[in-house]
Amino acid sequence: MDMAFSPAARAAPDTTITTTRSDASDASRAAFEFEVVFLAQAVEEMMRGTTAGEFGGGHGEETWRSFLARAFAEEIASHGSLGIARSIEAGIAAYGTGKTSE
């Protein structure tokens, strides 16, 4: 299947964070993954007392809840708006240079 994109879509500014690019540093990837894991735990805890849409609950919903929480967490983290990954990456960089962040 050929997936052609419109010229407007190709001209759109690149808003992806560096962790999705192939040239991203190890610290950047690790910081992003930390943010995703943290958010997945938070989202899963928030979902504990609710039902996920029209699934109707039960064992199947409980089984797949962590996958849904992870997907939500990846989407939230991909926007880079929380700053958790940036903070972690700065800490890793400071650790590598021997400086403390102020």
Q: Write out the two tokens for 2.
A: 């050929």
Number of other CB atoms surrounding residue 88 within 10 Å: 19
* Distance in angstroms (rounded) separating the CA atoms of residues 89 and 32: 8
**Per DSSP, which regions of the chain are E strands?**
none
pLDDT in tens, 17-54: 444 443 348 889 999 999 999 999 999 998 887 765 66
- Give the residue-averaged pLDDT of 64-85: 92
Q: Where are the domains positioned within the chain?
A: 24-96
CA–CA distances in Å: residue 14 to residues 9, 10, 41, 88: 10, 9, 29, 23
Q: Which residue in the block uniquely carries the two structure tokens 């759109």? A: 12
